[in-house]
Amino acid sequence: MSSSSTPERIGDETALVALEEVEEVEALEQPRKGEAALGEAAAGAGGSGWVTAALAAPGLLWIGFYLIAPLVIIVLVSFWTFTDAGFERTWTLDNYSELFHDSTYWDNMLSTFLTSVIAVVACLVLGFPVAYFLALKVQSLRIQIALFIIALAPFWTSFLTRAIAWTFPLMGREGALNQILIKLQILSEPYQEFGFSTLSVRLAMIQLYILFMITPLFFSLAQVDRHAIEAARDLGGNWWRTFREVILPQTMPGIVIGSIFIFVLTMGDYGTVATVGGGNITSVGTLIYSKIGAVQYPQGAASAVLLVIVLMVGVWVITRFSNLREEL
Amino acid sequence: MQEHETDIEGAAPAAPSPQSRSGLDLVGLTKVFPGGTVAVDDVNLHVSHGEYVVLLGPSGCGKTTTLRMIGGHEFPTEGEIVLDGQSLVDLPPHKRPTTTVFQHFALFPHRSVLANVEFGLKMHGVGKEERRQRAFEALDMVGLTPLADRKPRALSGGQQQRVALARVLVTKPKALLLDEPLGDLDRLLQLRMRVELRNLQRQLGLMFIHVTHNQEEALSMADRIVVMNEARIQQIADPLTIATKPATELVARFMGDNNIIRGKVTERDGDRLVVEDEEHVRASVQAPGASQKVGDEAMISVRAAAVDVDPNGAAPAGGLNTAECEIVFVEFLGDLVKLHLLTGGERMLAKVGAEHYPALRGREGERIAISWKEADVQLLDA
Amino acid sequence: MTIQTMAQAAEAVERPQDVVVRREVKQRFDWAKLGLGIYFVLFLLFLYIPMILMGILSFQGDRGQLTFPFRSPVSIDWWKTLWDTNLFNTIAEDVSASGRQSLYLSLLAGVLVAVFGFMLSMAFRRRWRFRLDVVTFFVLMLALMTPAFLVGLGNQLLWRFMGETPSLYWTALGANVIWGIPFSFLVMLAVWNRYDRHIEEAARDLGANAVTTFREVTLPLVWTGVFGSFLFGFTLTWNDFDRTILLQNGYQSQPLPILIGTWPSSRPILPNLYALGAATTAVTLFLIFTVLIVATLRLRFAGAPVTRKAEELGEAEGLDTRVTGS
């Protein structure tokens, strides 16, 4: 602007300056970036702050009571002891030291962790083509959404129903899998170990939670600019290179979110393991449940706290793979 | 120098007009957003009934915020807004006698065209029969009666705009505020709507305040133009004055097709100054009331259309109100030719008629002489 | 090379495209799409087969067992035990009691989720004074990510600490609602994203006060999001197990999933379990597909917009400026 050249048209400099100013003023007249996508409610009377607080209060209070308070209690209880008379509020680290010295606990934690990792990887590998197909291969938006909902519908059905199917009907001694394998003459007699096994638990987990991976992937992929892909092909990239250099980086946020979901859900799962594993398989969840059942609340709470710590560490590790904040 | 109010003769800056009983007055209007940014700074303006005023400026200059304050969708930090003697500042939008036409029309998508137009009347408690009748009158006025039952998404951009117009006119406001009303339309429709919108305003005799960043639109439609930049008014004048006698550098730049020469005053003779820049281009200007002395910095501007070009003339050396340039590009635009020129390091622009094109075509790289008259030179404020 | 010599050089060469070739160009067949499409169908089978299997198995005759092959002819006998109290293997009472429990809880949860999610999203889109939006976001993420089981555990401990065993409406309802709120919030975010705030300003401009604006303009335009939130809350609660399992008090009927999930330890396992499972699944699927169909139908009747071409060519009508009055 300080050069003494004359703009012949309002195009060049003025427009560039104008663009910056537009963003500046628009940024002022609209809320901060995180909310910009939501648009701004016109400020009615000057007391918009109060209305906002009144709107947010009920939800936040509810969550405060039913989520924050319980979590706090868990932490507290993990440091207490429990007797017939109720909670004894003396601070103690016994519960934790018991756990630390319990090798079965760590074995359990490790096997649950392994199952989790397997679930994340499997869901990613198996789910990516589905998301890819829906987001990038299906042309009509309407069909995209219809297929997506059809794929998503099972998620809303009772997971328990689907879990039970992984016991007798599919994997049991007389289950479908065994019968098919026998018919195909791969097995000569039913294999007992299909059902109520680590295998069936893992399979069930994948089936039940894969939708939590597909959804973020789908949304991430849907935002990839198809023209960018075409441009990459145009400049000489083959399919694999294009995928790695153009598509994959843009999908990272979806991968990270999906992985976080699946990791957290599988580590903390109780129902699936209990039902499909039928008591043979233990996880951190079943362990906590049994401790609670044995009225050993503090130990159960301590296990829960340790689980949360493992979860936080895991989530932190996963987020290292992408600067998630920027994407949001 | 913050603000200029010049009338058609380009007289000296006047004090802000006192509040009158009739028309709209903005007095010292200021808006500071939380966070400290000043969006509108001390705006003073009087608009008479029946006048078509355009607020013009680059995006972010404060014109939209000013409009929103008049309409009640934004609250001034300081200042007064008075319409026909009544202060509007404490009134919410629905109690003000102004209505706004929004940039993207803001029609109610879930309602039919007729219901959209009836909305304002319904809010004011008008009875059903009368509502329908007045709504149909408004739809007739904009020529949309056969589409009364359609939903907005089934309409084209131009049709949507007409619905937006009908919707506001049916409430019989005292002033109509338009926020970039032609921005969403296709180009040819834009050009046509300028004419028709202006005609509509004339026939209604209503005060229109129109915000735009399109210079041509402002020149074409306004009775008076208020040029704003960085929260302040740069100049208020009728279109002819704005186009031929820009008062500040921003106005000259923003209107486009102006040659701006920055230099020092080398002579002063009464009202007449001579300004010379680093390339030794010298221009003389009549500037009564100018405060610069010899040796001070000064800026002048000459319209590109006022620059004469002699395709075959020789290049005189170091003359007054003339310059020798190299032709960078000859741009043919149908009715006229824009010559992009270079003097030393400075870019200059000349506009000549299309008849000169054959003589100029293909002469990029050659040197040519340009000249202009002293009467066409404007002294600019910073 | 200067521009002129480049042009000369180009003219000198006979370019391939100058030679006219008659050739049929076929669309390249998208193998990837076919492959992925097949994969997608297999995937759907993978998801749906357990439910289908269970559904099929529930239609066995009265000597049926838990697995294939069918040992007796197809019948709905096992289904009958779900509602007919007179049959031998009836579980009708439990089913109807649990069914009602689930229904009430889910309806309430749906309403609460819709209300809270809506209010939170409304608050989120306004300007915040105290940077509460960051806190809200964090809290919602926490609600989304905390393992269901832990939420149940915490709530159980909380109430035990207070020395009470309250009804499910105080415990399970709360725990389920917090799981639904983040989903509702995300849905509402998407809805507000498409929403033009100027519409509200226009309504205000035309004389509507805040309440009227909300009722006449805002709500009709966002109600789909609110309804979606309700569905979220409903189905998440209808199907929840982990959250509610630790919150069972002895004196209220168990919600359906708990009934099913704790079945093996207390009752003989018979195909009527499959019937029950299939029934609960059918309810949800029915809901979802109805909504899907309704939504597609609504979209289809929306009405096509007028083409821009007429306007671009300058042929569109303008205002009728022969105004006869004002």
Confidence of residue C66 (pLDDT cuts 50, 70, 90): low
Cα(B100)–Cα(B113) distance, integer angstroms: 17
Cα(B33)–Cα(B68) distance, integer angstroms: 14
The CATH code belonging to domain B257-380 is: 2.40.50.100
Q: Does the domain formed by B24-97+173-244 have CATH 3.40.640.10?
A: no
What pLDDT is recorded for position B56? Answer: 95
Nearest to C212 among B102, B123, B203 (CB): B123
- Examine the pLDDT at B16 and tell me if it is beyond 70: no
The residue count for chain A: 328
Confidence of residue A38 (pLDDT cuts 50, 70, 90): very low
Whether the CB of A225 is below 8 Å from some CB of chain B: the reply is no
Cα(A205)–Cα(A78) distance, integer angstroms: 29
Size of interface A-C (CB pairs under 8 A): 299
The CATH code belonging to domain C104-255 is: 1.10.3720.10
CB C179 within 8 A of CB C193: no
Helix, strand, coil fractions of chain B, as percent rounded to 5: 30, 35, 40
Nearest to C321 among B151, B187, B196 (CB): B196
User: Is omega for the bond preceding C69 within 30 degrees of 0, making it cis?
Assistant: yes
DSSP codes of every residue in B265-329: EEEEETTEEEEE-TT--EEEEE-TT----TT-EEEEEEEGGG-EEETT----SS-BTEEEEEEEE
**Contact call for A271 and C129, based on CB within 8 A:** no
Least confident of A37-46, B108-117, B202-211, C304-313: A37-46
**pLDDT tens, position by position, B174-201:** 999 999 999 878 888 888 889 989 998 9
Residue ranges of domains in chain C: 53-91+267-298, 104-255
| Mean pLDDT score of chain A | 75
Q: Which residue has the higher pLDDT, B360 or B17?
A: B360
**Burial state string for C92-130 with b = 16 or more CB within 10 A and e = fewer than 16:** bebbeebbebbbebbebbbebbbbbbbbbbbbbbbbbee
Nearest to C316 among B154, B158, B205 (CB): B158
| Mean pLDDT score of chain C | 76
What pLDDT is recorded for position A43? Answer: 39
**Contact call for A29 and B65, based on CB within 8 A:** yes
Q: Region C42-71: what's the mean pLDDT?
A: 73
How many other CB atoms are there within 10 angstroms of residue B45's CB atom?
A: 23
Q: Region A172-186: what's the mean pLDDT?
A: 72
Task: State CA A117 to chain mean position distance.
Answer: 13
The pLDDT > 90 percentage for chain B reads 42
Q: Which residue has the higher pLDDT, A185 or B134?
A: B134
- Examine the pLDDT at B134 and tell me if it is beyond 60: yes
Whether the CB of B79 is below 8 Å from some CB of chain A: the reply is no
Question: φ and ψ at B280, to 5 degrees?
Answer: 65, 25
Q: Region A269-280: what's the mean pLDDT?
A: 82
Enumerate the CATH 2.40.50.100 domain ranges in chain B, comma separated: 257-380
CB B103 within 8 A of CB C202: no
B 142-181 residues with CB < 8 A to A = none
Q: Which residue has the higher pLDDT, C215 or A239?
A: C215
Residue A142 resides in a domain: yes
Residue A27 resides in a domain: no
Q: Which residue has the higher pLDDT, C132 or C167?
A: C167
**CATH number of the domain that A126 lies in?**
1.10.3720.10
- Examine the pLDDT at A46 and tell me if it is beyond 80: no
**Contact call for B346 and A4, based on CB within 8 A:** yes
**pLDDT tens, position by position, A56-112:** 888 888 988 999 999 998 888 888 877 766 677 778 787 788 888 888 888 888 999
**Which of B186, B194, B364 should one mutate to test binding to chain C, selecting the residue with the greatest count of C CBs within 10 A?**
B186
Q: What residues of chain B lie within 8 A of the CB of C326, using their CB?
A: 141, 169, 172, 203-206
Pull the structure tokens for residue C319. Answer: 């205002």
Closest chain B C-alpha to A48 CA, distance in angstroms: 13
Identify the domain containing residue A110 by its residue range.
95-147+209-327
Of all residues in chain C, the one with the smallest CA distance to A63 is: C178
Confidence of residue A36 (pLDDT cuts 50, 70, 90): very low
Whether the CB of C268 is below 8 Å from some CB of chain A: the reply is no
Q: What residues of chain B lie within 8 A of the CB of C207, using their CB?
A: 94, 120, 123-124, 171
**Burial state string for A49-85 with b = 16 or more CB within 10 A and e = fewer than 16:** eebbbebbeebbebbeebbbbbbebbebbbbbbbeee
Task: State CA B44 to chain mean position distance.
Answer: 16
Least confident of A28-42, A192-206, B30-44: A28-42
**Which of B68, B73, B74 should one mutate to test binding to chain C, selecting the residue with the greatest count of C CBs within 10 A?**
B73
- Examine the pLDDT at C5 and tell me if it is beyond 70: no
**pLDDT tens, position by position, B82-131:** 999 899 998 888 888 999 998 888 899 888 999 999 998 888 888 899 99
Prediction ipTM score = 0.75
What pLDDT is recorded for position B176? Answer: 94
Rounded to two decimals, what is the model's pTM? 0.74
Residue A178 resides in a domain: no
| Top-confidence range, A102-106, A315-319, B37-41 | B37-41
Size of interface A-B (CB pairs under 8 A): 66
Residue A321 resides in a domain: yes
What pLDDT is recorded for position A12? Answer: 39
- Write out chain C in H/E/C secondary structure: CCHHHHHHHHHHCCCHHHCCCCCCCCCCCCHHHHHHHHHHHHHHHHHHHHHHHHHHHCCCCCCCCCCCCCCCCCCCHHHHHHHCCCCCCCCHHHHHHHHHHHHHHHHHHHHHHHHHHHHHHHHHHCCCCCCHHHHHHHHHHHHHHCCHHHHHHHHHHHHHHCCCCCCCCCCHHHHHHHHHHHHHHHHHHHHHHCCCHHHHHHHHHCCCCHHHHHHHHHHHHHHHHHHHHHHHHHHHHHCCCHHHHCCCCCCCCCCHHHHHHCHHHHCCCCHHHHHHHHHHHHHHHHHHHHHHHHHHHHHHCCCCCCCCHHHHCCCCCCCCCCCCCC
Task: State CA B370 to chain mean position distance.
Answer: 29
Confidence of residue B1 (pLDDT cuts 50, 70, 90): very low
CB B118 within 8 A of CB B131: yes
CB C263 within 8 A of CB C273: yes
- Examine the pLDDT at A47 and tell me if it is beyond 60: no
Distances (CA, A) of A41 to A170, C91, C178, C193: 53, 53, 26, 12
**Contact call for A6 and B346, based on CB within 8 A:** yes
Of all residues in chain B, the one with the smallest CA distance to A25 is: B60
Nearest to C318 among B140, B192, B203 (CB): B192
Q: Region B40-59: what's the mean pLDDT?
A: 94
**Contact call for B157 and C204, based on CB within 8 A:** no
CB C201 within 8 A of CB B93: yes
**CB < 8 Å & 24+ apart, contacts of A80-88:** A80/A298, A81/A298, A82/A295, A82/A296, A82/A297, A82/A298, A86/C163, A87/A297, A87/C161
Q: Which residue has the higher pLDDT, A166 or B168?
A: B168
What pLDDT is recorded for position C95? Answer: 78
CB C114 within 8 A of CB C233: yes
Enumerate the CATH 3.40.50.300 domain ranges in chain B, comma separated: 24-97+173-244
What pLDDT is recorded for position A80? Answer: 83
Q: What residues of chain A lie within 8 A of the CB of B65, using their CB?
A: 25, 29
Q: What residues of chain B lie within 8 A of the CB of C221, using their CB?
A: 109-110
